[in-house]
Structure 1
Amino acid sequence: MFKHRLGFAKPALALALALFAATALPALAQSPIPGGGFDAKALSEHVHVISSDEYQGRGPATPAETKTLDYIIGQFKKQGLEPGGDSKGPFGGWVQDVPLNRFEVKGPVKLSLTAGGKTTDLTQGVEAVVQTLTPVDHVAIKDAPLVFIGYGVKAPERQWDDFKGVDLHGKVAVVLINDPDFEADLGGRFDGKSMTYYGRWTYKYEEAARQGALGMLIIHETAPAAYGWATVRNSNGKAQFDIVRDNPAAAHPLLQGWIQRDLAVDLFKRAGLDFEAEKKKAQSEDFHPVALKGATFSADYALDHSQIVTHNILARIPGANRPNETVIYTAHWDHLGVGAPDASGDTIYHGAVDNGTGIAALLELSRVFASGPKPDRSILFLAVTAEEKGLLGSAYYASHPVYPLATTVADINMDALATNGKAKDISTSGDGKVQLQDDLILEARAAGRYFAPDPTPEMGHFYRSDHFSFARVGVPALSIHSGEDMVKGGVEAGQAWAREYTAHRYHQPADKWSADWDLSGQVDDLELIYRLGLKLADSNEWPDWKPGSEFKAARDATAAARK
C-alpha cells in the first residue's frame, strides 16, 4: 500500500507517448562514468544475494535484518565509503537506530453506530475497520458525536478550510477520501485529477489530530481511494507500526478508521441528510462542518503495543568543498519477511524487484561515485528500513536527521526498477511539482530519452515511496520509475511486463531473482540518476518546489540557511 507506481498508461496517452518518443533528441556526448560505468552483472548479483532464501524476506527486527545489514555495510566498506550514521550499537556509525512502536487491535472489537434513534452493531473489517497508533492498552469510546468535515482539508495556500473553527474535542470526524476537485471542476484548485497530499488518508488523520478530534472515519469509495475495500480491510486488519514519537497524540487521533460507502449513505439518511448532496456541498470552499444530528459512534477494544528497534544504513562521501551540503540517494532494504505460503508452498517473500533492485542500484551508485573525484557537496547513500510498514525508516530520518535538512540539496529515491531491458522513456512516481523533475528531464534528453509523466496521477503515487518523507519536511525529492516504452516492443511490451509483475509477483513469494533478467535498462536508468546527482553535487543549485506545491512553505522556512 506504500508502493511506487506500477500503473498502466491509458491507450490515448500511450499513443501520445509513442509519438513524442519519435521526436526525442539524439543522445549528446557526455563525460565517461568512473569505475568502468555501471555493471549489469553486479546489479544482478546483489539482488541474487539479498533476495535468496538465506535472507528470509528481509523483515525488520528479525535475524534477517542483521544478515542484510552485514551485506550492505560490507559492500560500502569494500568501496571505501565512510560510515554516515550516529549509532553506538554493534553496527557503530554505519547505522541510525530506528525505534518503532507496534500496535495490534485485539478482539473482541465492539463497534456500533447510532443514528435516527437506532443502534447498529458493526463488524471489524466488514462495514468498518479501526486502528489505534497511540500506546494505550484499551480504547473505550462511548456515543461520541459525529461531525461531517467534508474532505478534512485545511490548506491555507489554496484558500481552503473544511474545519472553519469547529470544536472536535470528544467528537469523531467523518470525511471523504481524495481531494475536493476529484469529482468537481474547481479550475485545478487541487490539481484536478492529480491527487495532492491533502487527498491522502495519512494527511487526513494528521489533520484530525491537529484539530483535537477524538477520532476520524474516512468514507471509502473505490474510485477516489484508488483501491477497493479489500485493500483497506487487509492493510488495517494486521499489526500496524509507527515511529516512536514524543507526543503520539499530536500525529494521530485516538481512533483512526474507515467505513463503507453504503454505511455512510445510510448514516446520513438517518441523520436527515442526503449523502450525495452533502458531498456536493463539500466540493465548495464555502462548505461548513455539519453535525450529524443524533448520530454517535462507539468503539471498545484492547490494544497490544510494544517497541522494536530496526536500522537505517548510512554511507557517506564527504564533499571536497562544501561537506555540510548533502545530496541523498535512498532505497529501502526491507521487505515482508516470512508469511503465508503461496500455491507452491513458499513462505519467503523474497522482494527481489521490490526492493532488491533499489538496493543494488544504491550499491552500484556508491561504487561509481567512490571511484571518481570527490564532488563539491557530500553524497549520502541511505538504505532505509520499514518502508513496507509505512515509510517509517525514511520518516524517522526526516524527523531525526543526521545531516541538516535545510542544507540537504535533494533526495533521489529508487524503488523497484524494471528488469525487462532498455526503455526510451524515464518517469517518476507521481508529479510533485518540483524543479528536480525538470533537471531529470534535461538529463534524459541529453541521453536521447524522454520523460513520460505518471499516467494515473489520481492514484497519489507521489506519496507512497520513501522520497515523500523528505518532501513533507520540505526537501526536494522524487522517486525514479523505470520507463515503459521499451526499445524492443514499445509501450505494449512495457505494460505487459508491469501487468505480469503486479498480478503474479508484487508482494508475493514469487518476487524472486532470475538469471534471465535483462538489466541493461537499469544501467541506462542509473546513468541518468548518477548524472542528476552529480550535477547537484558539483553545483550551487538548490532545486525548489514550484508555486502551489504543498511542500514549498516548509522549504521556504529554512531559506536563510542556504544563503
Structure 2
Amino acid sequence: MNRPSRNALAASVLSLAVAFALQPALAANPQAPSFDPHRLAEEVKTLSSDAFEGRGPATPGETKTVEYVSAQMQAAGLQPGGDIKDGKRTWTQAVPLLRAEITGTPTLTMNEGGQAQALTQGEQIAVRAALNGDTHVSIKDAPLVFVGYGVKAPERNWDDFKGMDVKGKVIVALINDPDFETGKGDFGGKAMTYYGRWTYKYEEAARQGAAGLLIVHETDPASYGWATVKNSNTNTMFDVVRDDPKAVHAPLEAWIQRDFAVNLFKSAGLDFEALKKQAQMRDFQPVEIKGATFSADYDVDSKVITSQNIVGFIEGSRKSDEYVIYSAHWDHLGVGEPDARGDTIYNGAVDNATGTAALIELGRAFAHAKQKPERSLVFLNVTAEEKGLLGSEYYSSKPLYPLGKTVGVINMDALDPHGPARDFNISGSAKLELLDQLVATAKQWNVRYSPDPKPEAGHFFRSDHFPFAKRGVPAISFGSGDDRVDGGTAASKQWSEMYTRDRYHQPADEFDAAWPFTGMARDLQILYTLGSDLANSNAWPNWGQDSEFRAARDASADARK
C-alpha cells in the first residue's frame, strides 16, 4: 500500500479544518431561496437587446448598461460599493483604459520572392490596433522568422528563440503549447498553460524587441474559428493604462489564417507541418522565412478613456472587513462588421448577459435574506473582459476592498440558459479548497463535478477570476454542466458546438425566447449556498499545496490573523 505524502496529509488536515469551520454555517444555513427564471430571462433579454448596442466599453451602450445594472442592483436592495465621492460610495469604479482603433483601411503587404501580395484586414490577416501608444504604425520590408510556439520558459528549460536577434523583425508563432498536438510533454499535456495564450505570445514578442508577431490561427488549438478571431481583433482595442506599454506590446499584433501561413512557408521552401512537429521539441531552432518580408502602414486613434466597473455591496453584520466576491463581466463587442445577414450588433446574450443577470439576482437573494451575512458581499460587474480581462485586472491591481481579506471570488461567465444539468464544471483544472466546497455544496442538489472538458482551450486564463488567482485570491469561474437532465451529454454537446461555431463573438449571440433558464435558476441556488457558507464562517480557503498561486496567498496571511 502506498503511504500518503506529507503534502497530501497536510492537505487532508487542512481540508478537514476548513470543513469543520464550515459546519456551523452549514447546519444553520436556511434552505437556499428560489430564483425566478422569468426574471433572469427578462434581464438577459434587456441587456442583449439592440438598444444596448452590444455593450461596448466607451460607447453609448456602456452608458445604458451602467445605468440599467446600477438601477437593477439598487432595486434589488443592494448598496453602492464603488468609488468614494463626497464621502459616499458610488455604484461604479472608474477604470482608465488605453483605447486604440485603426483609422481608415490599413495597408498590409506580404512580399514573397519579389511578388507583393496585398492583404485584406479580416481575411488573410486580423491586425489589432496598436496598444503600445503609437499613433502611426509603419513597418517596411521586415524580415520574417518562425519561432515555433514563441515560448521562453527558463523553468522548463525551453527557449524557442535560442538567442536569435529578432529586433525589427516580424515573427511568426503557433497558438497554444508545444504539448497540444501530442498531449504530453513539459507544458501540462493537453491542458493549456499561460504560455499557450495569445496574450503571453504578444508580451514575449515585445520583450524580444520584435517589430510584430503574426499568430497562426488553427481552430482546434485556438478552440474557436476564424470568425471569432476576426470579430475580436479588428475592432476597437483596449488595455489597462501602463507606465511602459511598449514593454508588453510590439507595434504590430496580428493573427494570420493557417492556409495563408502554409503557402507562405511553401514559397520559402519550407514545410509548415514538418516545422510544427519540430517546434514541439526542446531543441527546435528558429527559422528564417527566406525571401519573404512584411510591410504595414496605418494610423491609430489612441487615447485614454474611462470605463466603469459596476459594484453592489452588502455589509457584513460581524466581520464587515472580510469579503466574498461574486463577479461577472457586463461588456461585449459592441457594434462591428456585419455578418451574412447584415447584422452589425454583437448582442452578447449568453456572453455575458447571463452572468450579469445572475449577479443581479444573487444580490437580490442576499439583500432579502432573513439575516445579513456575517462577512461582507461584493457584487462586481466588470468592464472590458472581452478586451483582455481589463476590468478585473484593474480591480485586482487597485482593489476597493483588500485582497488579503477577500475570502474568495465566484465568477460567472456565459451560463447555459437551458434546463438543468446533472453536473457542473469550472474553467481549468486548478486545485483549490474553494472547489472542494463547491463540490460538497452541489451534492445537496445531486449535482456532480465534471472536470473542464476542454483544458486545452485555456479557459482558466480567459475569464475574470484569473487576475485574482494570479494575486493569490482563491477564485473559480463556474460553468454550466455538460450532462443535461433533458437530453444528456448529446444535447449539451450539440448546443456547445453550435454556439462556438455560429454564435460565439458573433452577432448571432442573441436572446432566444425559447430558453427556459431553469438550469441557471437551479445553479444560482448552489452558488448562493456556497457564498452564504463562506460569508457565515471563519474559514479561509486556500489553493492546493502544489498550486503556483499558493505562495501569493500565503504571503498575505498576516492580513487574515
Q: Under a length normalisation based on structure 2, what TM-score does the superposition of the two structures give? A: 0.83
Match of residue 453 from structure 2: 455
* Equivalence for 1:536: 534
| Structure 1 counterpart of 2:486, from 485, 488, 506 | 488
Separation in structure 2 between the aligned mates of residue 503 and residue 218 of structure 1, nearest angstrom: 20
SS at match of 2:90: helix
TM-aligned CA distance change 1:66 to 1:228, over 3 Å:
closer
Specify the code of the residue in structure 1 equivalent to 2:542: P
The answer to whether the aligner puts 1:124 opposite 2:91 as a matched pair is no
Task: Answer whether contact 1:476 1:545 (CA < 8 A) is retained.
Answer: no
Q: Where does 1:299-310 land on structure 2 (aligned, <5 Å)?
A: 299-310=296-307
Q: How far apart in 1 are the matches of 2:340 and 2:273?
A: 43
Q: 1:267–1:79: structure 2 CA closer, same or farther, 3 Å change rule?
A: closer
Determine the C-alpha separation between the residues in 2 that align with 1:313 and 1:219: 36
Aligned-residue offset at 1:526 = 0.9
1:330 and 2:327 are equivalent in the alignment: yes
**In structure 2, do the counterparts of structure 1 residues 388 and 161 end up closer, same or farther at CA, with 3 Å as the change threshold?**
same
Change (3 A) 1:546 1:173: farther
The amino acid that maps onto 2:488 is G
Residue in structure 2 matched with residue 61 of structure 1 by the alignment: 58
1:269, CA displacement in angstroms? 5.4
Give the equivalent residue in structure 2 for 1:357: 354
The alpha-carbon deviation at position 362 of structure 1 amounts to 0.9
Match of 1:380 among 378, 381, 384: 378
Q: CA deviation at 1:122?
A: 3.9
Matched, 1:82 2:84: no
- Counterpart residue identity of residue 116, structure 2: T
Corresponding residue of 1:523: 521
TM-aligned CA deviation for residue 205 of structure 1: 0.5
TM-score normalised according to structure 1 size: 0.82
User: In 1, distance between residues paired with 2:392 and 2:312?
Assistant: 15
Equivalent positions of 1:500-511 (< 5 A) are 507-508=506-507, 511=510
Q: Letter of the aligned partner of 1:285 in structure 2? A: R
In structure 2, relative to structure 1, the CA distance for the partners of 1:43 and 1:293 (3 Å cut) is closer
Match of residue 250 from structure 1 = 247
3-state secondary structure, aligned to 1:335: coil
Whether 1:401 and 2:399 are equivalent positions in the alignment is yes
User: Percent identity, aligned pairs only?
Assistant: 56
**Rounded Cα–Cα distance in structure 2 between residues aligned with 1:407 and 1:562:** 6
**2:473 maps to 1:475:** yes
Count of matched residue positions in the alignment of Structure 1 and Structure 2: 531
Matched, 1:206 2:210: no
Does the 8 Å CA contact 2:81/2:92 hold for their aligned counterparts?
A: yes
Kindly indicate whether residue 167 of structure 2 is the aligned counterpart of residue 173 of structure 1: no
Retained in 1: the 8 A contact 2:82–2:400?
yes
Q: Helix, strand or coil: the match of 2:191?
A: coil
> How far apart in 1 are the matches of 2:223 and 2:73?
39
Shift of the 103–534 alpha-carbon distance from structure 1 to 2, 3 Å rule, reads: same
Cα distance, 1:463 vs. partner? 2.8
State the one-letter code of the partner of 2:325: I
Distance 1:63 1:280 in 2: 48
SS at match of 1:423: coil
Q: Secondary structure at the match of 2:386?
A: helix
Name 1:411's counterpart in structure 2. 409
Give the distance between the partners of 1:383 and 1:485, measured in 2 at CA. 28
Specify the SS of the correspondent of 1:454.
coil
Q: Within 1, Cα distance between the matches of 2:476 and 2:494?
A: 25
Structure 2 gap ranges (5+): 1-25
CA contact (8 A) 1:320 1:377 kept: yes
- 1:312: how far off? 0.6
Amino acid at match of 2:168: G
Match of 1:421 in 2: 419
Shift of 1:45: 3.9
Q: What residue number does 1:6 align with?
A: none
Cα distance in 2 for partners of 1:61, 1:139 equals: 23
One of 96, 101, 105 as aligned partner of 2:98 = 101
SS at 2:403's partner residue?
coil
- Aligned-residue offset at 1:313: 0.7
Contact 1:435–1:546, Cα closer than 8 Å, also in 2: no
User: Partners of 2:560 and 2:207 in 1: how far apart?
Assistant: 30
Corresponding position: 1:183 with 2:181: yes
**CA distance change for structure 1 residues 210 and 316 in 2, over 3 Å: closer, same or farther?**
farther
